[in-house]
Structure 1
Amino acid sequence: MNFQRKQFTGNELVSIYRELLLPRLIEEKMLVLLRQGKISKWFSGIGQEAIAVGCSYALQNDEWLMPLHRNLGVFTSRGMPLHKLFMQWQGDQDGYSKGRERSFHFGSAAHHICGMISHLGPQLAIADGVALAHKLKGEQKVALAFSGDGGTSEGDFHEALNVAAVWDLPVIFVIENNGYGLSTPTHEQYRCENLVDKAKGYGMEGVQIDGNNILTVIDTLRGVRDYCLREQKPYLIECMTFRMRGHEEASGVKYVPQQLFAEWAQKDPVRNYEQLLLSEQVLTPQALEQIQQETKQYIEKELQLAAELSSPVTLNIAAELQDVYAPPVLSARSYEEALEKGCTEKRLIDAIKDGLLQSMELHDNLVLMGQDIAAYGGAFKITEGLFERFGASRVRNTPLCESAIIGAALGLSLEGFRSVVEMQFADFVSVGFNQIVNNLAKIHYRWGQSANVVIRMPTGAGVGAGPFHSQSTEAWFVHTPGLKVVYPSNPADAKGLLAAAINDPNPVLYFEHKALYRSVSGQVPDAYYITEIGKASIVQQGKDISVITYGAGVHWALEYAAQHPEISLEIVDLRTLLPLDETAIRQSVQRTGKVLVLHEASITGGIGAEITAWIAEHCFELLDAPPMRCASLDTPVPFNTELEQQYLAKSRLHQSVQALLQY
């Protein structure tokens, strides 16, 4: 191995050795613990240590790293207490994830390490968001994300590199090319000669290096970091390496030709570096042995400390539920308080725009992102004028990269920013689904990190837009703990709930019905205010039937009530679908004894199924009839307007009400 000592001093070389040796010896110990049954799973990075250690060594300690499950050297190089890492790996409640996560699926904001999810690719986009935050704050910092060779086949890899290039972000993307994605060799993974060749396709620079040469890794990373900061551009590094163990220990290595192990054993990053230290007379054999013994003793001491600090798992359902969400922030001015300062008649679309405008004025760390939202003003013109008012840095047009933009929003939140991401249509959120339900939703429960991200979702049918621009997708997200889902039906709630969502430290899906944008008006307080998330509204009191609904369903119910004054309908506007206001639901059931849950989404698996089941389970003694659902057909949303009206729940509302009355 050709080491270039360059400017490295003897002390630096020894320091690097200690950093390189520690993860190797930890891994060897972990394999023993695995055989002893003291840990359940291990993803080995033996043979690849130089990459993680080198990257960490070259960056500043307050620059974010997005590691994967073979980057132990990131965690050790950032000085994370080893005994707590042992507790994490053993599933102890005093580990970094309170026993909720495995191996390296956790992070630590204090150490600027962002925990991975098993889907790998989403890490790259988070680095985009962190780098954007640094750029907006004028900080001279980079963000770095790791990918395996297999991960480069994921759409998230393409999206993240494309966004970083288009937005000129100081991001370093590091590919650890170890020849295999689990058992799939690289020749079955891609057809370009080298993965670094992809860099040119995204309009960025790249380099391929020996990932087993620790000095090459450090020297390259330092130079690349300087380039990214100087040019404010991203960079791709392909590190050639090899893992000497299986993907994880249970998978074995039978699929790997044996000659590869012999070949790469000669390129061992630790052993070759030791030979350098000896040949350069930086260390004597005795000094080398002493460092090894000291490191082993340190590992044993920390392992013993972990055992001493470990305690039996305490099962506490309340604590588990509490940690799903970050604690709410202090409330701002309420709707009632804002009323005193005057109101203006506004359409729903104008109220949403007002909420965005006032939030942008209040929060100078709020960034809006979405397709065509800048000078064009968005597909529905909600952001029109905001680009001219707040500039391109805070009102950002995005490429067609929904997953990467949602990931970037999470990255922004790591650095204290708030963001609102506009889906051009709620239907398109499906291509960003993973980032929402696995990354945003679970991050606080997994390692205590808040995610101040709002995703605006223009939703619903009734406008003749067909199957891919009319879907009601709210039930996809109501099933996911860690998300909040709001769905206003009127302008006043639209403004207040949007402000509340932007204030909330948790990810919020904000649904806004397209058909209501310009068809519904109402008095809206001029001043800034919030409407509390999780609280339903009684739109109309009644005694015969409780119609529990939201969005367009509120207006269907009001219209029906006006047409049938002989029926005393109580109309409950949920406003928030997750978390549900169960108290308001129960109180309404108590007043009427009969319940109809009305929603626009298709009936099977809709929110109505959850609400009627909850009522049957918790309010059975209050019922005079089974709780019923009135929802749309179990078909895609048709384009033809007559077929669309037949599809919608509104066409069956009278039938459902009569069935309940006659029960």
Structure 2
Amino acid sequence: WEEADGIMSFGAYLAENKHATGEELERIRDQVRRRVTRAVSLAADLEISPRLQTAGTDAIGALMFSNQRVEKFDDREPEILIPNEENPRIKANSKKSRSALDENGKELPKARVISYRDALFEAMLHRFAIDPTMIAFGEENRDWGGAFAVYRGLTESLPYHRLFNTAICEGAIAGAATGYALSGGRVVAELMYCDFMGRAGDEIFNQMSKWQSMSAGVLTMPLVLRVSVGSKYGAQHSQDWTSICAHIPGLKVYFPATPYDAKGMLNRA
């Protein structure tokens, strides 16, 4: 097996092609040996790495979510292009009713009432103005307004590095969001359709959901993954995988039914 070992053969390749000397390669091997030995020693030391007592406790569950209210992850001033009150969509929303009924109890036309998408937009803009680390990205999030025009109006308020578009790459979207959250930032990533969560299955079900508990709470995951569900454009754009996500340890599933719920739940998340 040593003859076929990739590390050994690559070392031989470097030496044969004069990219590294035998002495340099041995120094690298020695450094790796010492690093691995130290890691194993620390892991085996019960004072430094005490074993988690899981029997009869909710120890793992307690580490799975931080359940903290963190308004912002940095004290910098958030980068906003215009004050929230000057945002054109906020101005338009101010003329709409926040009740479905008029003063006589009669149902108002939908165009005159704050919609589900309006409510989500308001929660997003509110949070962007509080947390300077917050970013959002996904397919057509900028300029085009995101899926179902939820983000229409955000482009006017946010610099490109806080709101930007991606390719059709669900795995990369979920993976990049996970990495950004692990690095200490707040992120709202969007998958245009729930149906394509399968393209990001490992990133969602094994990375996004697990790193906080796997790190014993040392790492946190301030991440919201927004997806749309329901009957839309045929068999591959109409599914609801909510129940699948609800079965995954480490994920919290929010399913707002009204604009009031949508704004409150997204703001809380």
Q: 1:491 aligns with which of 237, 259, 269?
A: 259
Alignment match, 1:21 = 30
Q: 2:55 aligns with which of 312, 315, 318?
A: 315
1:353 paired with 2:93, answer: no
Identity %, equivalent residues:
28
Contact 2:139 2:191 in 1 (8 A): yes
CA distance in structure 1 between the partners assigned to 2:210 and 2:47 by the alignment? 17
Contact 2:142 2:151 in 1 (8 A): yes
Q: Deviations over 1:484-518 (max 9, x none)?
A: 000111111110100111xxxxxxxxxxxxxxxxx
Aligned AA (2:212): H
Alignment match, 1:450 = 220
Contact 2:208 2:221 in 1 (8 A): yes
1:395 paired with 2:163, answer: yes
Give secondary structure in 2 for the equivalent of 1:353. helix
The RMSD of aligned alpha carbons is: 3.0
CA distance in structure 2 between the partners assigned to 1:410 and 1:81 by the alignment? 25
Aligned AA (2:211): I
Alignment match, 2:229 = 459
Contact 2:54 2:60 in 1 (8 A): no
1:85-484 paired onto structure 2 within 5 Å: 85-86=43-44, 95=49, 315-329=55-69, 344-345=97-98, 346-447=114-215, 448=217, 449-461=219-231, 463=232, 465-484=233-252
Q: Deviations over 1:449-499 (max 9, x none)?
A: 2111111111112x5x32222111101111011110001111111101001
> Deviation at 1:367?
0.7
Gaps of 5+ in 2: 1-14, 73-93, 99-113
Give secondary structure in 1 for the equivalent of 2:184. coil
Contact 2:71 2:131 in 1 (8 A): no
Write out the 4+ residue segments of structure 1 that deviate beyond 6 Å after TM superposition.
none
Higher strand share: 1
CA distance in structure 2 between the partners assigned to 1:480 and 1:324 by the alignment? 11
Alignment match, 2:42 = 84
Contact 2:210 2:249 in 1 (8 A): yes
Give secondary structure in 2 for the equivalent of 1:429. helix
Cα 1:355/1:484, change in 2 over 3 Å: same
Alignment match, 1:148 = none
> Deviation at 1:331?
8.1
Cα 1:434/1:18, change in 2 over 3 Å: same
- Scaled by the length of structure 2, the TM-score of the pair is 0.69
Give secondary structure in 1 for the equivalent of 2:129. helix
CA distance in structure 1 between the partners assigned to 2:26 and 2:261 by the alignment? 60
> Deviation at 1:22?
4.8
> Deviation at 1:328?
2.0
What is the number of residues matched between the two proteins?
213
> Deviation at 1:321?
2.0
CA distance in structure 1 between the partners assigned to 2:133 and 2:182 by the alignment? 12
Cα 1:21/1:325, change in 2 over 3 Å: same
Cα 1:22/1:439, change in 2 over 3 Å: same
> Deviation at 1:432?
0.8
Q: Deviations over 1:571-622 (max 9, x none)?
A: xxxxxxxxxxxxxxxxxxxxxxxxxxxxxxxxxxxxxxxxxxxxxxxxxxxx
CA distance in structure 1 between the partners assigned to 2:28 and 2:19 by the alignment? 17
CA distance in structure 2 between the partners assigned to 1:93 and 1:438 by the alignment? 29
CA distance in structure 2 between the partners assigned to 1:490 and 1:434 by the alignment? 31
Aligned AA (2:224): V
Alignment match, 2:10 = none
Gaps of 5+ in 1: 6-12, 27-72, 100-312, 333-341, 502-663
Contact 2:230 2:240 in 1 (8 A): yes
Aligned AA (1:20): R
Contact 2:71 2:130 in 1 (8 A): no
- Compare relative contact order (CA 8 Å, sep 6+) and give the higher one, 1 or 2: 2
CA distance in structure 2 between the partners assigned to 1:402 and 1:364 by the alignment? 25
Cα 1:330/1:377, change in 2 over 3 Å: closer
Which of structures 1 and 2 has the bigger CA Rg?
Answer: 1
Aligned AA (1:370): G
Cα 1:93/1:410, change in 2 over 3 Å: farther
Alignment match, 2:82 = none
Aligned AA (1:320): I
CA distance in structure 1 between the partners assigned to 2:54 and 2:179 by the alignment? 33
Alignment match, 2:103 = none
Aligned AA (1:318): D
Alignment match, 1:138 = none
> Deviation at 1:94?
6.0
> Deviation at 1:95?
3.9
Give secondary structure in 1 for the equivalent of 2:155. helix
CA distance in structure 2 between the partners assigned to 1:3 and 1:436 by the alignment? 40
